[in-house]
Structure 1
Amino acid sequence: MVTRIASTGLAAVACGVSLTLTGGHGGSPPLEWGRGPLTVDSLPEVPYVAHRGGAREVPENSMSGLMAAFRRGTAQVLDFDTRMLRDGTPVVFHDATLNRTTFLGGEVRALDAGEWRGVRLRPRDRLPGSWRAERPPTVAEVLDRFGGRIVLMLEVKDPRGLGRLAALIRSRGLTRSVFVNTNDPSVARRIHGLGLLTQLWRSARQMRTDRPERWRSHVDLLDVDIRARDADLRRAVRSGVPRVWAHTVVTPAQRDRALALGCNGVITDAPGRLARHPVRVSGARGR
């Protein structure tokens, strides 16, 4: 059941929203792809990832936030979360419920695609700049808007929808352009088996007992917690997994520590802030 958290003014907000979301995939790649979509092979030695679009700088998991991060150019990868609606539609959303980031309440999975069109994101007051309420996008809309123009990273919050997500990625020729993220090693194996770029994220607590070398045959990106101990981060770097990127970095000091310990990517809520502060690690690959 969906409940209204802030019913006063909701109709006015909904009427005032300016939507710039694209339609469905038409079967041919966007013209800006040129000879083919941008892939992970184009990434710099140490890429920056805008986590949820850069959640300290833009409304998280919103089309306007992703567009702002894309246009600013301070990150080479756009990250977003995915969940499934009742009718199987994959949408861009982090939480299991609507309460924290929208004007409504209730479970995301209780809605169908028609009801989803009535949801409006509620930008946080403390975000810099001016942001309007807007409809959260579907995964298809984000893939159609950004696929092939920048590398994407999507987290699978509902593994039951993995097959649908894989179909969306494959039908657009984006299997080398989208990292598919999970915290579950068994789901990571499924992602790899579907021929997708596999990302496995681990918390600081999990990293204390992890044996990351076990995943090097089927994980393309190990996503490690910046709060982990130095020894645990070094073990991840030595695992043989080709990409070890640190999350969720919000300060230049955290970034510099990750690079000093050998991480070769930065997942951040504040890509603009990090871009303004040069790396201060002697010989770091992120210089």
Structure 2
Amino acid sequence: MKAKSPVVQSKLIAHRGASAFAPENTLEAIELAARMGAQWVEIDVKLTRDGALVVIHDDTLDRTTSGQGAVVLNTLEHIRSLDAGRWFSSTYAGVAVPTFDEVVDTVIRLGLGLQVELKPTTGDDLETAEAAIPLLRQRWPRDHHKLFVSSFSTRALGKARALWEEVPLCLASLVAPADPAKLLAEYDCQILHVVDPFLNESHLNRLRDSAVEFAVATVNDPHRARYLLSRGAQSVITDYPNLLDINARQAGM
């Protein structure tokens, strides 16, 4: 099977921005990723209690903010009042959880490619896509093609496809499926993402032979990143936007 031209023409995608160096999923992490030479960034989108969209990974506020409880049970106003930087470093004290539209505007201004991961709290899969996709479709420049939407939720991806026929979609999976091309075709997706700890040589062979576009997350070892790229991965998702510039002897960070 002949591989198609990849959607993501970059070896690295900065995972939640430059998340090794700044608090993840913040405007500061995205700005830093751009300064470090990133061409693409990945961010996570969730719904608040009042139906707003914020960029945060976890179902709860506890790990990456000064707040507690489920994101979906808190209002945008409350979430925006929290400190989303001090947990990482006192340097970032006072940094706020960004809204989705703030992130989209920042990425466009910086000329970056964007992976939007729909990260629904289980049960609001459709609602998350229904809120995020129209906003993204309205704001994203027609001549800026560096964009795709990903999710572990096939329900969210199905709704995204119904709302925007042309946007590239990515199915995220813990393991490499038995038939990658068939699975992507089933959900009308163009990209597959798999998780590195669940990947073995047999999986890599299967992915490479399928000729689908695939990436591996989250890879922070330059040895491993170079190996995966040599074995057919089009890109790796990493907390280090400069990963391929790091001396191999510094692996194992």
TM range (shorter): 0.7 to 0.9
Equivalent residues of 1:50, 1:69 under 8 A apart:
yes
| Correspondence 1:239 to 2:203 | no
The structural deviation recorded for 1:234 is: 2.2
Q: What is the alpha-carbon distance in structure 2 between the residues aligned to residue 269 and residue 180 of structure 1? A: 19
Q: What is the alpha-carbon distance in structure 1 between the residues aligned to residue 6 and residue 191 of structure 2? A: 13
Moved over 6 A (4+): none
Q: Which runs of 5+ in 2 are unaligned?
A: 249-253
Tell me which residue corresponds to 2:179: 211
| Paired letter, 1:96 | D
Tell me which residue corresponds to 2:102: 141
Equivalent residues of 1:216, 1:239 under 8 A apart:
no
The structural deviation recorded for 1:54 is: 2.7
Equivalent residue in structure 2 for 1:166, among 114, 117, 133:
133
- Aligned to 1:136, the other structure's residue is in SS state coil
What TM-score do the two structures reach when normalised by structure 2?
A: 0.82
| Paired letter, 1:161 | T
The structural deviation recorded for 1:41 is: 8.2
Tell me which residue corresponds to 1:264: 234
Question: Percent identity, aligned pairs only?
Answer: 26
Q: Give the aligned length.
A: 231
| Paired letter, 1:197 | P
Tell me which residue corresponds to 1:116: 79
Tell me which residue corresponds to 1:181: 150
Tell me which residue corresponds to 1:91: 54
Residue-by-residue CA offset, 1:96-144 (whole Å, 9 max, x unaligned): 111111111111111222222212113445x6x9433311100011111
| Correspondence 1:191 to 2:160 | yes
Q: What is the alpha-carbon distance in structure 2 between the residues aligned to residue 43 and residue 185 of structure 1? A: 21
Q: What is the alpha-carbon distance in structure 2 between the residues aligned to residue 146 and residue 96 of structure 1? A: 24
Residues 43 and 162 of structure 1: CA distance in aligned 2, closer, same or farther (over 3 Å): closer
| Correspondence 1:154 to 2:121 | no
Residue-by-residue CA offset, 1:125-178 (whole Å, 9 max, x unaligned): 5x6x94333111000111112126111111111122101111111111357332
- Aligned to 1:65, the other structure's residue is in SS state helix
Q: What is the alpha-carbon distance in structure 2 between the residues aligned to residue 124 and residue 87 of structure 1? A: 26
The structural deviation recorded for 1:210 is: 3.5
- Aligned to 1:166, the other structure's residue is in SS state helix
Q: Name whichever of 231-240 and 78-87 sits farther off.
A: 231-240
| Correspondence 1:101 to 2:67 | no
Q: What is the alpha-carbon distance in structure 1 between the residues aligned to residue 170 and residue 247 of structure 2? A: 28
What TM-score do the two structures reach when normalised by structure 1?
A: 0.73
The structural deviation recorded for 1:235 is: 1.2
Residue-by-residue CA offset, 1:72-91 (whole Å, 9 max, x unaligned): 21x21111111101111111
Q: Name whichever of 162-171 and 179-188 sits farther off.
A: 179-188
